[in-house]
Amino acid sequence: MFSKILIANRGEIACRIIRTARRMGIRTVAVYSEADRDALHVEMADEAVAIGPPPSAQSYLQIDRIVEACKQTGAEAVHPGYGFLSEREAFAEALAKAGVVFIGPNPKAIAAMGDKIESKKLALAAKVNTVPGYVGEIRDAEHAKKIAKDIGYPVMVKASAGGGGKGLRIVHREGELAQAIQSSKNEAKASFGDDRLFIEKFVTEPRHIEIQVMGDRHGNVIHLNERECSIQRRNQKVIEEAPSPFLDEKTRHAMGEQAVLLAKAVNYDSAGTVEFIVDKDRNFYFLEMNTRLQVEHPVTELVTGLDLVELMIRAAAGDKLPVRQSDVKIGGWALEARVYAEDPYRGFLPSTGRLVRYRPPREGRHGDVTVRNDTGVYEGGEISLYYDPMIAKLCTHAPTRADVIEAMAAALDEFRIEGISHNIPFLAAIMQNRRFREGRLTTGFIAEEFPDGFHGLAPDDADIRRFAAAAVAAKLTRTARAARITGALNGAIPLPTAYVVSFGDRAVRVDDAHFHHQHLRAHMDGMAYEATIRWHPGEPILRLEDKSGAAAIQIARMAGGYRLSHGGVRIVASVRSARAAQLAALMPRKRTADNSRYLLCPMPGLVVSINVKEGQEVKTGESLAVVEAMKMENVLTAERDAVVKKINARKGDSLAVDDVIMEFA
């Protein structure tokens, strides 16, 4: 067994690998860019080596610098995590040449299966079902047009060296193809150093279901059953689960057999994932093989009880697999929700900045429920624009799918993040979605369920009562505490018991409100209401239980009231006396500024291209500019017909949120 390994990655996956290595008694070496000097993985590792400037192409993708870090520290092996160099044959070969073990598959397996084009050819030769398409590299836009016309739209433009949704575009008509090719090439080059593309048919109503395989260097290969990864946005997975609610035992067995067959064909000897597209009739088609650890591997670990990182390390050290296929069982149900630094209320635009508050739910086993949170950040740390926007992977495990969804909903409600925008309200809303709860999933789920974007869930009557109760209890608690301050009136003036709680255009009259020993009694709009409430001023979570059930409500004080959120509902509650509420209703409302004449930068980012000129007439939907943020290109389009009056930005400019890119006449 190795005594020291280097982790050629960053963020949550580097931290996760360090935890397993530490448990195994293995010392660890972290590498870091200038932007990650104060990162959590650097703090956790036993040693750390700087490898370059912030852009990944100048640091985490620099093979020579990582090999040199191994020599400098005496690391015997390297775990690449996922992304960056994890599927680069040249990296594994460079390590071997330096006498360092690559904790992953052998270079030939990476070459055969890590390349999406070559893996499709190999799968065809092995008579594995594959998605219809062109098995080869596209030469240029004209070549792509011919292929797409032959296959029939919609098609997928995909990076041959891709993964994680990078370099992938779905194209519905010929007019979108040129921009899709350019963006895919740019993303692939920036993320993988390889801009080769191919095209395949986009299967309608598809499910994305993948099989985890594990091999050793003695010829043994097994599969660890499936993961359902259909909940995706912009081709990036958002929520994953194991097992799939769709597969029957016959299909699971067939998919597992094909995955193992494919892995054995290239003498696969580590952790890998064979991805399939499954149609509504349970016909499955090989999509690609990822020759690395997957982001969503924790759900497999939770249902099998196996540590995939440990298995990878042991396989690389020459150990045989400690389990056989017959030993692999499905124990309960697991969910993973990816917490991203993005604003779901503004089209999921990336968000950067400092984590003013970062308080995840309590990890560990609580009864039949297990909560796990894989992260690479800490309170006070910074979310950089240079890397993937993932903050954490929140996982829950429970006996049944219904139980694990409830556990995830509760854990999301307790997850507090401030300082940047994040997608927790969106994840919480999915947990409440009927279609999701019924398991009726496709890769189009998010687009179909939120066609106009995410605007938060509307509160129902039970939510309104709970929010009103939370706001009044908080108000009474703070007022009672203020009355006890030395030199104050010491309660000589009785606490008010009547309030109007306003939620925008909706208001609730709360009378006879008394809050004592965690028990609230009141009348809401004339109806009796009681709840048990546990909260102290300053705490981010208020716990409430009434006849509708228990709830964890996030609460933050603001002028005139509180900002509250629970179950995907986010609301501002103003708590006033009846007279103050009357006066507040007479106050003029501030008008929103008219920015329709400007194209504003929606996120901090780098201008990749300006696609129009001053004086040019543009039509609705036409591409105006492309801005890159967090390794993804965002195409900004015209929202209406207009004439470009002035352009304020140029290619290569670094912009902040709401910087004016161009002005319209």
Q: Which active-site residues does the annotation give?
A: 288
Residue with structure tokens 């929700």? 337
623 bridge partner residues: 637
Residue with structure tokens 């030199």? 487
8 A C-beta contact, residue 85 and residue 70: no
8 A C-beta contact, residue 521 and residue 513: yes
Cα 7 to chain centroid distance, Å, stands at: 22
Q: How many CA atoms lie within 13 A of 85 on its CB side?
A: 30
Q: How many CA atoms lie within 13 A of 22 on its CB side?
A: 12
Q: Inter-axis angle of helices 63-73 and 89-97, to 10 degrees?
A: 30
Distance CA 159, CA 137 (A): 9
What are the φ and ψ backbone dihedral angles of 607, each rounded to 5 degrees? Answer: -75, 115
Interior/surface letters 23-47, b for 16+ CB within 10 angstroms, e for the rest: eeebbbbbbbbebbeebbbbebbeb
Distance CA 398, CA 420 (A): 31
Contacts of 517 (CB under 8 A, 6+ apart): none
Q: How far apart are the first and last CA of the chain?
A: 68
Residue with structure tokens 């389009």? 637
- What is the identity of the amino acid at 397? H
Positive or negative: CA dihedral 102, 77, 298, 51: negative
Positive or negative: CA dihedral 215, 221, 223, 224: negative
> In Å, how far are 257, 299, 374 from 337, measured between CA atoms?
28, 10, 11
Secondary structure class of 152 (helix, strand, coil): coil
Secondary structure class of 44 (helix, strand, coil): helix
8 A C-beta contact, residue 400 and residue 41: no
Distance CA 12, CA 242 (A): 21
428 burial type by CB count under 10 A (0-12 exposed, 13-18 middle, 19+ buried): buried
